[in-house]
Structure 1
Amino acid sequence: MRKRLVCFLFLSGALIALTGCGVERGPMKLADEPAVSGRPDSVVSAAPVVQGAVTPVPTSKVIPTDISAPTDAPLLPAKLPSLAQTLVERYHKAVPAKWGENIPGVRTHLVTQDKVIALTFDACGGKEGSGYDEKLIDYLIKEQIPATLFVNARWLAANPDIFAKLAANPLFEIENHGTEHRPLSVNGRAAYGIAGTKDVSNVIREVTENADEIEKRTGRRPLFFRSGTAFYDDIAVDIAHDLGFQLAGYNVLGDAGATFNTEQVYHALTKARSGSIILAHMNHPEKDTAEGVMKAIPVMQKAGFRFVHLSAYPVE
């Protein structure tokens, strides 16, 4: 059983549970650190088992998202719900010092030495594609392969019936891929040509609006968030943690945004090691992801690996 650490904040006479418990941060000097341009399709070996790993507990309080960005000072409490207002007050002057896919607070592997692998598939939606790779999903169902599906709000809106079927299938764990599929940033920083969220209140919207929709449709609030492009700055990481979410990174680039051919997907997946988190996509049926996955999984199983949901083990 996972150990859970919950910190409490008194706001407006009410006790609110926060996870991650980010320390209040003032302005920080921006480090001269270049943006990460991409990830190799190599695998980071699993870390040693960490005793007492903490799994943040998502807040059960649904956060309204009618939030306006601050200008010179935080908005008045009357204009924001208490938790969101607190986060705006805490972070609106903070300056990011880190940017990338693999920065502190982004979880990239399962904490285990068991021969297990977490398959995760993003469904991005919008111009990034609102298709459905039925061949891939049908194969996973036929072979009883668990997977974690990161669904964006635009893909959900385009595929409500498919989403309902996937959410009802215990093979699949549904997680949060954001509202507008943006890199998570407090200053609009872009990745792969996609503009990031522009301020603290936009970070809150990007994380919570789609989580609210998933919870409304499934009765379960997502535990994990993965941003569009999987890029973050360190301030946005702290905000997401304060909102109660774990940030799901990866250490195996499975299909490079559904651009890999069959052989590239196969070779990427078969490099996975104990505790690997694989990132691939389920929204491009016209691409070769399904064929590569179908070729790799029997080989991985023969090597003694089994597949698990992302929530099955602690992650770090």
Structure 2
Amino acid sequence: MIPLARRATAVCALGAALTACGTTAPEAPRASSRPASATAPPRPPTLAPGPAGVTPVFEHGPRTRGKTVALTFDADMTAGQGPRAARGERFDNPGLIAALRALKVPATVFMTGRWAEEYPVQARVIGRDPLFEVGNHSYSHYAFTDDCYGLPTVDESRMRADVEQAYTAFRKAGVPDAMPYFRFPGGCHDRRALKTLTPAGVTAVQWDVVSGDAFATDADAVARQVLEGVRPGSVVVMHCTRSAAPTTERAVRTIVPELRKRGYRFVKVSELIGAAEAAGDRR
């Protein structure tokens, strides 16, 4: 969950409220339950590994290839939040998904595996809707570095397994083709985490625009922050959790028409990564 007014290039803070807030995938880059065949979809674009083969990190697309912007939504739920969900707390936001459909906005939803287990029907519907693509936000939503805004920490020996467990949860929910894109919980990562995840074959997806929707009560302020930050190729981080980001749907209904008025076209993260790959532009 991302707090208000963080710089997009900085590691994203996740509020302490969210801390209370077979298990391997055959190939994490494809992460698909569909058998390989002549009609299988093309492999999604990814960035080449970074120096010494570490997991590549993507923050935004090319700035000079048209006015495109990707809205991304983190569907956060930690491994320990089941009791809160059982008591009625809602970590989903079907109204937001309905608004994106009504506005015809492509988007990338980064789910935790625990979220997909809690809301399998919604995960399946989102994952099978061509308007959306599903990225990996870990299974547990535990941090991949120490001192990540109070989140519990995944042991280094479990990092890759945590990512792969999320892909397994997606397949069990009926998501056919989760993307080989991984967003670190809280945005927290270091070289050790990037190196540990290299065998998973994912591209780590960060952002360059923080919406400030986490725990926000003023939808207009969220919209202003996004509109002031967006540039061509931007990746905007928002949330798909009603209890912790209750204003997001209203903010989106302001953001989308205004950006379209400014000439922006909404795309999924995969399109921006494809454009960066084609341009040899690593971000």
Q: TM-score, normalised by structure 2?
A: 0.71
Written as runs of structure 1 = structure 2, the 5 A alignment for 1:1-316 is 40-41=5-6, 58-59=28-29, 105-113=56-64, 114-126=66-78, 127=81, 130-185=90-145, 189-199=146-156, 201-216=157-172, 217-259=174-216, 261-271=218-228, 272-284=230-242, 287-314=246-273, 315=276, 316=283
Return 5+ residue gaps in structure 2 as ranges. 10-26, 33-54, 277-282
Deviations 1:85-142 (A, max 9, x none): xxxxxxxxxxxxxxxxxxx943110124210001000011144975222221111101
Report the AA paired with residue 312 of structure 1.
Answer: E
Question: Aligned pair in 2 of structure 1 residues 303, 105: CA closer, same or farther (>3 Å)?
Answer: same
**In 1, Cα distance between the equivalents of 2:221 and 2:133?**
26
Q: Provide structure 1 residue ranges, at least 5 long, that are not aligned to the other structure.
A: 1-36, 45-56, 63-103
1:269–1:278 contact (8 Å) kept in structure 2 = yes
Deviates more, 1:105-114 or 1:163-172: 105-114
Describe the SS at the equivalent of 1:210: helix
* Displacement of 1:168: 1.4
Find the aligned partners of 2:31 and 2:175 in 1 and give their Cα distance: 16
Looking at structure 2, the residues matched to 140 and 313 of structure 1 have their Cα atoms a distance apart, in angstroms, of 19
Q: Share of identical aligned residues, percent?
A: 23
Partner-residue secondary structure (3-state), 2:197: helix
* Structure whose residues are more often helix by fraction: 2
Aligned to 1:71: none
2:29–2:179 contact (8 Å) kept in structure 1: no
Q: 1:183 to 1:256 in 2, by over 3 A?
A: farther
C-alpha displacement of 1:256: 4.5
Deviation at 1:255, TM superposition (A): 2.8
Task: Verify the 8 A CA contact 1:240 1:246 in the aligned structure 2.
Answer: no
Query: Residues 130 and 246 (structure 1 numbering): CA distance in 2 closer, same or farther, change over 3 Å?
Result: farther
The number of equivalent residue pairs is 224
SS of the residue corresponding to residue 249 of structure 2 reads helix
Flag the 1:177–1:145 CA change in 2: closer, same or farther, 3 A.
Answer: same
Q: TM-score, normalised by structure 1?
A: 0.64
SS of equivalent residue, structure 2 residue 138: coil
Change (3 A) 1:253 1:208: same
